[in-house]
Amino acid sequence: ATAFARAEQTAAASESVRDIGYAPPGRIAYVPQQSTLKTHLPVSVRDLILMPLQSALPWQKPSRENLQRLEHFADRLKISRLLDKQVAQISGGEKQKSLICRALMMQSPVLLLDEPTNGMDIGSEKEILMLIKKLNREDGYTILFVTHFLAHLLNEADQFAIFAGRKLLTLTHSELVAGNLLAELYQRPVAVDCVEEHYSLRVGARL
């Protein structure tokens, strides 16, 4: 299943794991915002992706297995041509794909993505959303997606955990689009529109 979350504040969480080269251990692989990358550092895309696997023994060369996995995931995400480029030379969408590739290298069944489309144009945003959907539907990853823009996910997510103020609401997609729960939660008129199975939100002034 896909689980998407909306959070009002994510800065504290991102600050603790924002430095490149470290990945939290366990079953969840964290994908930070591409804007948190320190692009002034002379780091190639290849090194960025391999850093978490090398953090314990940074002087050792990557294993053959890790290099094969890198080749596989880079091809899957269509970033093979970027591997030898410096991180500072690639676009925001390409940086986000590289960070997703790095998370996939951790072999975790759950991906936690912190606003992965933040600061992107419409085309790059849609490309990243489609990639994430494929990772869930075709590859079986559980996706936890943190965003401030709920409307972006009405056509992508199966389940929602919505946080506003001190209220937390968990619901399925059908529950979200069928009732007036959003209006009650945010104290604003909220209408969910559907045209040819494409959902969108209309939000009014605060009640």
By DSSP bridging, strand 159-164 and strand 167-172 are: antiparallel
Minimal CA–CA distance to 31: which of 89, 117, 90, 91? Answer: 117
Q: What is the pLDDT of residues 161-192, one digit of tens each?
A: 988 778 788 889 888 888 778 888 778 888 88
Cα–Cα dist 48/32, whole Å: 13
Q: Does an H or E element contain 47, and which?
A: helix 45-54
DSSP class of residue 32 equals -
Place of tokens 């850093």: 51
Q: What is the pLDDT of residues 132-168, one digit of tens each?
A: 999 999 999 999 999 888 887 888 888 999 887 787 8
pLDDT of residue 143: 93
- The residue ranges of the chain whose pLDDT is under 50 are 1-24
Q: Spell out the residues 6+ positions from residue 79 whose beta carbon is closer than 8 angstroms to its own.
A: 45, 94, 97, 98, 101
Conformational region of residue 107, where left means phi above 0, alpha means psi within -120 to 50, and beta covers everything else: left
Cα–Cα dist 4/59, whole Å: 38
Count of helices and strands (H, E) across the chain? 7, 8
pLDDT of residue 25: 53
Q: Please tell me the pTM assigned to this model.
A: 0.79
Provide the token pair at 2: 């896909």
How far is CA 183 from its chain centroid?
Answer: 26
pLDDT of residue 5: 42
pLDDT of residue 206: 64
Average pLDDT value over all residues in the chain: 82
Q: Are 142 and 133 in contact (CB under 8 A)?
A: no
- CATH 3.40.50.300 for the 22-141 domain, yes or no: yes
By DSSP bridging, strand 3-6 and strand 198-203 are: unpaired
